[in-house]
Amino acid sequence: MKMGKFKMRLYLPAVAKGLWVTMRRFFSRKETVEYPDQAKVPRKGYRGEHRLKKDEQGRMKCVACFMCQTACPAECIEIVAGPSPWPDRDKIPVTFNIDMLKCIYCGMCEEACPCDAIELTPTYNIVATSRADKIYDLHKLLSR
């Protein structure tokens, strides 16, 4: 604070210094990402759009245990369970709706899933033209 008052009043050294920093910044590498032409790819582990996984035989992994629905803080998952056609499990989901407008992408469904059936993918630009399109059903979640 106790800088010389005279030096302060001179005003020009500060301007020169400021200009120098600004020019150096001006000619340094550009940080801007030109978004639509040049998309930023998030790392693995980014919490974006959901998908339901399938096992080696192409069957859905989900066993309708309702864990994700219980863990979800936004209450956006709606599951209706039905009998399973396969002998290794009792239940499969008949409906599995995720309301993407309610979803807050916290990743708690993935954390809660005991079967590694639901996953958040790094897809972040999710566009829809109607509200109905934003409710992802079983078919849509499995096809991702």
Partner 1 sequence: MEPKLDLPPSKPVLEIEQEREDDLGGRRLVVNFGPQHPATHGTLRAIVELDGEIVRSMALEIGYLHSGFEKIAEYRTYNQTVTVTDRMNYLSPLCNNIGFALAVEKLMGLEVTPRCAAIRVILYELSRVADHILSVGLQAMDLGAFSVMLWTFIERENLYDIFEAVTGARLTTSYTRVGGLFRDVPPDFEEMCRTFMAKCGKSIDDIETVLNENRIFRDRTVGVGRLSKEEAISFGLTGPLLRACGVPYDIRKARPYLGYDQYDFEIAVDDEGDVFARYRVRVKEMREALKIVDQALRALPQGPIWVDDPRIVIPPKNADNAPSGGMEGLIYHFKNYMLGHGVCPPKGEIYFATEAPNGELGWYLVSDGSGRPYRWRVRPPSLYNYQAFPEMCAGKLLSDAVAVLSSLNVIAGELDR
Using CB under 8 A as the binding rule, whether residue 43 contacts partner 1 is answered as yes
Asked if 5 touches partner 1 (CB under 8 A), the answer is no
CA-based angle 132:136:140, to the nearest 5?
Answer: 120
Q: Could you say which of 52, 60, 64, 67 contacts partner 1 (CB under 8 A)? A: 67
Chain centre distance of CA 86: 33
Contact window for partner 1 (CB under 8 A) among 11-19, 93-101, 126-134, 136-144: 11-19
Per-residue binding letters, 78-97, with partner 1 (x by CB under 8 A): --------------------
From 5, 25, 34, 36, residue interacting with partner 1 (rule: CB under 8 A): 25
Confirm if 68 and 109 have CB atoms less than 8 A apart: yes
Cβ-based neighbours of 82, under 8 Å, separated by 6 or more = 64, 91, 92, 93, 94
Contact flag: residue 6 with partner 1 (CB under 8 A): no
Q: What values do phi and psi take at 116, rounded to 5?
A: 55, 45
Rounded CA separation 96/37 (Å): 35
Binding mask 114-133 for partner 1 (x = CB under 8 A): xxx---x-------------
User: Does the protein bind partner 1 through residue 41 (CB under 8 A)?
Assistant: no
Q: Which of 90, 144, 81, 80 is nearest to 118 (CA)?
A: 144
The residues binding partner 1 (CB under 8 A) are: 1, 3, 7-8, 11, 13-14, 17-18, 21-22, 25, 31, 42-43, 45-47, 67, 70-71, 73-74, 104-108, 111-112, 114-116, 120
